[in-house]
């Protein structure tokens, strides 16, 4: 039973959207294009990657909306899969979400922030900057819920302003390439190619976070009414931003200069702003990354806390202070973040993170069908729009992506599967020491 929060402690519709948008717009959109250009160089399929990624996220949101409104308990896929399928599957999803989904990306974004500042101040150490940022943002969210909410609102607003300004100056820049967004011969066949499917993994990772409201749903004002609206508004907004950003990248910068490069935002900024581009873009991206890191830091401990509530052997993670802050979970996440920063062992994780997160969302969408069968009379304030077609579209496209990933990036895909399996076996090992199993009486 999760503690009841007072109205003043609940997260508003606006702030919930800020958390979701911030968790979606991170380093992915500023780095993915260079890898996509290794296999796809035509403008229409490149933009379609981001459009399809948005549609895929919307189909997922329709599904998660029903699950989140019917079972409004924080913890995300961990809680949903534990209740609907089996605690072992939920435990596995929880580990993936808390580490691959939030902690590792927070560390990556912090290091990226340090590297962008290093472009302006060559003598600084990017790792030290990342450590300071991680510590600072953890302290904000651990101090009080209100302080964290205010920081998230302000930093996300700054992020939107900076991105909007970047897009505007990209359109009015005189230094532009001669490109067309309309399909040309051969473009349609690219949409069904293995390269397109594998590139969608990068896009899916850039959109990851569209479901982040599920992780703190019990802290949202009127979750049964708002959870679906929060996801839909955030996804549509971010999809428009992603399409415009990638169009500006392609419009401002020659394709040959971006192929295989990571610093796409930097290259486009130099092309748009000239000699001062490096400084402007580095400062801008550093500021907007604060919002992303903040959202990851806020959400991760909610998953860890939920896992502590259900497993006696790690019950200390469920501890909350007088301000309803899951302090123990925050400290664990901070320690894990610092470990990753000091060892840099997260680099390989980011290669297969997209595959692993796709596997977790597939299991969650499957759980909708299971819940419909097991509990047809369960009160559902919101029902999936277009059921069963929208969840089926989500499953079919993601399974198609995984099929080609097995063919093209076999090692990384297998690692993703092994993470899920290892986490599931870990649950059964720990369950021997648990005093009580997870209570599956949460469905009424």
Cis peptide before 388 (omega within 30 of 0): yes
In degrees and rounded to multiples of 5, residue 38 shows phi and psi of: -65, -30
Taking each helix axis from N to C end, the angle separating 277-310 and 145-172, rounded to the nearest 10 degrees, works out to 140
Q: How crowded is the C-beta side of 386, counted as CA atoms within 13 Å?
A: 13
Q: Tell me the pLDDT tens digit for each residue of 258-285.
A: 988 877 888 888 888 887 776 777 788 8
Name the strand (E) or helix (H) holding 340.
helix 327-343
237 phi, psi to nearest 5 deg:
-60, -50
Cα–Cα dist 287/359, whole Å: 32
**8: which residues sit within 8 A by CB, 6+ positions away?**
none
DSSP 220: B
Residue 11 neighbours by CB under 8 Å, 6+ apart: 19, 145, 149, 216, 219, 220, 221
State how far the Cα of 67 lies from the Cα of 349, in Å rounded to an integer.
Answer: 28
pLDDT at 5: 47
pTM of this prediction? 0.82
Sign of CA dihedral 271, 292, 156, 206: positive
pLDDT of amino acid 101 = 77
Task: Look up residue 271 and give its two tokens.
Answer: 């092309």
Report the alpha-carbon distance of residue 61 to residue 432 in Å, rounded.
Answer: 36
Identify the H or E element spanning 94: helix 87-96
Give tens-digit pLDDT for 287-344. Answer: 888 988 998 898 889 888 888 888 888 888 888 888 889 999 999 999 988 888 877 5
| CA atoms of 138 and 389, how far apart (whole Å) | 41
Please list the pLDDT of the chain residue by residue as tens digits (444 residues). Answer: 444 544 456 788 888 998 899 888 877 788 788 888 988 999 999 999 999 999 999 999 999 999 988 888 878 888 899 999 999 999 999 888 887 778 888 888 888 888 778 877 888 888 899 999 999 999 999 998 888 888 988 988 888 898 999 899 999 887 888 888 999 989 999 999 988 988 888 788 788 888 888 888 888 888 878 888 999 999 999 999 999 999 999 999 999 989 888 778 888 888 888 877 767 777 888 888 898 899 889 888 988 888 888 888 888 888 888 888 999 999 999 998 888 887 754 445 555 667 788 889 999 999 999 999 999 999 888 899 999 999 999 999 999 888 888 877 787 788 878 888 988 888 888 887 766 554 444 555
**Tokens read off for 35:** 């890898």
Tokens 């991760």 sit at which residue? Answer: 300
Partnered with residue 220 across adjacent β-strands are: 11
CATH class of segment(s) 14-431: mainly alpha
SS3 for 354-423 is: HHHHHHHHHHHHHHHHHHHHHCCCCCCCCCCCCCCHHHHHHHHHHHHHHHHHHHHCHHHHHHHHHHHHHH
Structure tokens at 431: 């369950």
DSSP 246-313: HHHHHHHS-HHHHTT-S-HHHHHHHHHHGGGHHHHHHHHHHHHHHHHHHHHHHHHHHHHHHHHHH-GG
With vertex at residue 100, the alpha carbon angle to CA 281 and CA 425, rounded to the nearest 5 degrees, is 175
Q: How far apart are CA 264 and CA 36, in angstroms?
A: 11
- Count of positions (residues) in the chain: 444
Name the residue ranges covered by the structural domains of the chain.
14-431
CB 106 within 8 A of CB 134: yes
- 50-to-108, 110, 253 alpha-carbon distances in Å: 22, 24, 18
Per the DSSP assignment, residues forming a β-bridge with 23 are none
- Helix then strand then coil, in percent of the chain rounded to 5, is 75, 0, 25
């Amino acid at each position: 039973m999760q503690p009841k929060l007072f109205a003043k402690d609940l997260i508003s519709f606006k702030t919930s959207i800020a958390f979701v948008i911030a968790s979606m717009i991170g380093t992915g959109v500023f780095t993915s294009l260079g890898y996509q250009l290794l296999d796809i160089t035509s403008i229409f399929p490149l933009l379609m990657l981001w459009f399809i990624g948005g549609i895929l996220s919307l189909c997922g949101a329709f599904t998660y909306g029903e699950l989140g409104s019917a079972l409004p308990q924080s913890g995300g896929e961990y809680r949903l899969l534990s209740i609907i399928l089996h605690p072992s599957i939920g435990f596995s999803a929880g580990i993936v979400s808390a580490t691959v989904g939030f902690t590792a990306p927070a560390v990556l974004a912090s290091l990226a922030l340090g590297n962008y500042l290093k472009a302006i101040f060559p003598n600084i150490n990017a790792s030290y900057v990342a450590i300071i940022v991680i510590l600072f943002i953890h302290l904000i969210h651990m101090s009080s819920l209100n302080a964290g909410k205010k920081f998230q609102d302000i930093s996300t607003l700054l992020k939107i302003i900076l991105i909007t300004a970047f897009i505007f100056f990209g359109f009015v820049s005189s230094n532009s390439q001669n490109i067309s967004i309309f399909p040309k011969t051969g473009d349609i066949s690219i949409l069904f190619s293995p390269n397109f499917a594998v590139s969608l993994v990068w896009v899916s990772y850039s959109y990851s976070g569209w479901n982040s409201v599920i992780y703190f749903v019990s802290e949202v004002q009127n979750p049964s009414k708002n959870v679906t609206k929060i996801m839909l508004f955030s996804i549509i907004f971010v999809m428009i931003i992603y399409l415009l950003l990638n169009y500006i990248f392609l419009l401002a910068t020659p394709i040959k200069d971006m192929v295989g490069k990571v610093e796409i935002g930097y290259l486009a900024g130099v092309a748009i702003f000239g000699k001062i581009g490096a400084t402007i873009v580095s400062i801008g991206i550093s500021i907007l990354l604060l919002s992303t890191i903040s959202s990851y830091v806020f959400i991760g401990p909610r998953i860890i806390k939920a896992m502590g509530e259900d497993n006696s052997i790690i019950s200390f993670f469920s501890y909350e202070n007088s301000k309803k802050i899951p302090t123990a979970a925050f400290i664990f996440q901070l320690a894990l973040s610092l470990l990753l920063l000091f060892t840099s062992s997260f680099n390989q994780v980011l290669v297969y993170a997209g595959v692993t997160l796709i596997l977790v969302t597939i299991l969650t969408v499957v759980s909708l069908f299971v819940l419909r069968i097991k509990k047809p009379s369960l009160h559902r304030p919101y029902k999936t729009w277009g059921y069963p077609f929208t969840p089926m579209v989500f499953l079919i496209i993601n399974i198609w992506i995984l099929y080609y990933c097995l063919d093209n990036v076999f090692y990384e895909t297998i690692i993703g599967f092994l993470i899920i399996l290892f986490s599931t076996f870990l649950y059964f090992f720990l369950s021997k020491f648990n005093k009580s199993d997870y209570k599956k009486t949460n469905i009424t």
